[in-house]
Amino acid sequence: MTPDRLDRRRLLLGIGATMIAGRADAQADPLRTALDDAVRLPPREALARLAAFDPAALAPAQRLDLVTARAGLAIDARLAGLPATRGRQGGYRPLPEARRIAPDHYALLLARPLGPVSPAAAQARLTRELAALHARAAPLFARIGLATGSIGARYSALWQDERYLYPDAAAAVADMAAMLAAARRRVAATIGPVPAWCTDVTVRSLSPEEIAAGRNGYRIVPTPSRQGGYIVDLRDVRRRPAWTLPSVVAHELLPGHMIQLGLEGVTPPHPLRIDYAASFVEGWGIHAETLAADDGVFADPRAMLGHLHWLIFRVARALVDLGIHRDGWSRDAARARLVDWQGEPAYFAPFDTELARIAQEPAARVAEAMAWLAIADAARGRRRREAHHRLLAHGRMRSDAISNIS
């Protein structure tokens, strides 16, 4: 989970120090030195420090570091003058409870990890996407004999079907391992050539010791010297029907986070780019689910309904984010919409937990959903391997850079 935004500058300083220590050439790189200085400076001073650099004269990864840092620092400079952020250098001070946020303020919070996407445009696009997802789900429900009721109610009914509930975690892991093996074979056709270590990943469930320690599911990103993997939370395995897991394999493993984060780790972006293009990571994971769908992974109608439920979850929580912070929805009204739209919560995001998180992190869920749609738009109409190479070659990007991949 993302650290509290109040501690963001402290986090950046720590990441920056670690990365610099591991890069002997950092001091010889003027841009790198200027970016490291920018982490420690107030936003306006940081922007002045970076003003002399010409993006056109830089290599692609350096260019992304520079333009991303400039865009984010400019937003932080504006946020720093707002009442909710007075006294710090950027980001957002969580409110004690949800309330409407001034439109200009919310727009900045959305743009900070994403790019120049307006809240109004996001709300209109996400509303259309939710309607389209429901329209795709309806005939699939009819095929399996659930033809009436809201989409949410039909998902709740499907969740109770004992035939698709695992008896134990071992059975779920065995299925996920088989899905992962099949996904590994599709990577070359979907993404193109990647280093072998990127696909050297495994899946296992949390150990009893990890559960006792309170750990949730987590990732181990692969590196040239370390096998990657996803450690999945199956402590309440009866809440994870078999038809919900194929999308999890695509999102968390292949062709999702293991490839994107693995490749990015070879030449890590500067910490400022990590922060100011943060939504790209989740956006790629969601896009990876849709790639699996394109490849026919969810041919069974229930598997496709599982895939659509994950997408509905992403879009619905983004719309609730907008509804609470822009339109003044109450927590109860927002919860009712989630129940109607998706029926059942995502395993790791019970409705009340998710609503509390949305209240404390305005615009974050919208940014993630819109990053996915920016990636999907950029890839549409292109040869998929070429598009994905351009999206992944130099690490995460903001939405305007995504739309300009060439």
Closest C-alpha among 227, 281, 279, 278 to residue 251: 281
Structure confidence at residue 83 (pLDDT): 77
Domain range for 239 = 119-403
Give me the amino acid identity at 267: T
Tell me the pLDDT tens digit for each residue of 247-300. 999 999 999 999 999 999 999 999 999 999 999 999 999 999 999 999 999 999
Quote the number of domains for the chain. 2
Tell me the pLDDT tens digit for each residue of 345-389. 999 999 999 999 999 999 999 999 999 999 999 999 999 999 999
Residue 52 has pLDDT above 90, yes or no: yes
57 and 131 housed in the same domain: no
CA dihedral sign, ordered 183, 186, 192, 193? positive
Closest C-alpha among 310, 354, 309 to residue 335: 354
34 and 124 housed in the same domain: no
127 and 78 housed in the same domain: no
78 and 124 housed in the same domain: no
Q: Is residue 158 part of a domain?
A: yes
205 and 305 housed in the same domain: yes
21 and 135 housed in the same domain: no
The model's pTM: 0.91
Q: Is residue 136 part of a domain?
A: yes
Q: Is residue 44 part of a domain?
A: yes
**Beta strands 218-220 and 201-205, pairing class:** unpaired
Structure confidence at residue 82 (pLDDT): 87
Closest C-alpha among 336, 330, 320 to residue 368: 320
Across residues 168-189, what is the average pLDDT? 98
